Structure 1
Amino acid sequence: MTSPESASPSRPAKAAGFALLGVAAVALVIGVVSLFGGGDESPSAGGSSTAPPAQTTTESTTTPPTSESPSAPAATTTTPPAASSSAVVPPPPVTQPGVPKVSVRVYNNSTITGLAVRAADDVRASGWAVEGTGNYSSGTIPTTTVYFRPGTDEEASAKELASVLKARVEPRFDGIQSSAPGIILIVTNDYQGPSKNK
């Protein structure tokens, strides 16, 4: 059986293109965060004496954890919250206590070009690490589904991710049973992205 994470030998250029698109998407996110939040790291040559130090400590506790995103340090206290939080930093996902965030691989099983990359960006924005993207062409998946290995940490994390994405969640099937550990998200034409907060 062929693992979904290895590219087809007849399409190495396509696999390389998807990898470059993923790298470009990450670079774009880091660039945008640096653009809006990077100016706050400049030397304080007399403009910051009016803000009390206790205020910066209080506000910094509301920033997202730094371990989940390389761009998290860009969220600082001198930028007005209304200008930066809605445009750059998504709200942190509501997580169940004790549910670990297991890494995710995203595969496209649709007719929409680039859907795996778009879904991977949504998964990252929701707090999960994405290990890679690609195509799943070993069969037709009827609806966007999050797959896990039963009896592992993957199960709770997969259920949480499926809830965020309004996707189906199921144990791995025979075609992906031997894939590397982690959650597998296979997106189809019905993929809508994360549910919006009401």
Structure 2
Amino acid sequence: MTTEPSPNNEQRLPLRGMAMILIAVALLLAAWGVYSMTREEASDTTVTAESTTTQAQQRPTAAAKPTQAAPAAPQTTVAPAPPAHAEVKKVHVLNNSTIQGLAAGVADKLKQDSWELGEVGNFPDGVVPQNTVYYTPGNAAAEQAARKLAERVGGVAAPRADNLPSGTEDPNSVVLVLAQEVN
């Protein structure tokens, strides 16, 4: 009968607005919590992959000791003058990121820099935390080429891992596994 707003209605409106804001904040916090939980799982996967890679790197060194003597002889005859990647026949470029075509793009750049290309494709067997160039332990020329290439792609050089695909075993080649874009 009266059209005047009652004092209770005036107070309800701000409370209702405040409740809506609190619900929105709660939803945002819940979404952030889900995101954080899934990101931690990704970090755990990376840590697990790193420890697996470390274990894999430790195993081949014991098995590779007999083969270390074979590459040492050619090294002494060729070592004085050639550039760092002269003995390295080829580089295999593998994509371990979510960026489509990353391996092919980087392979094209390396080919322009006079690298011979081997396998170019994906590396689904594990997670590599950063761009990594694998070399055969005991092959100083391959190690030097791997370090030079790792510096170029913003990554690290490491001894060859067990989980690298077949077709990349050549001791005079290096394997570039990409985890992120190359500058």
User: TM (normalized to structure 1)?
Assistant: 0.45
* Bigger proportion of residues as helix: 2
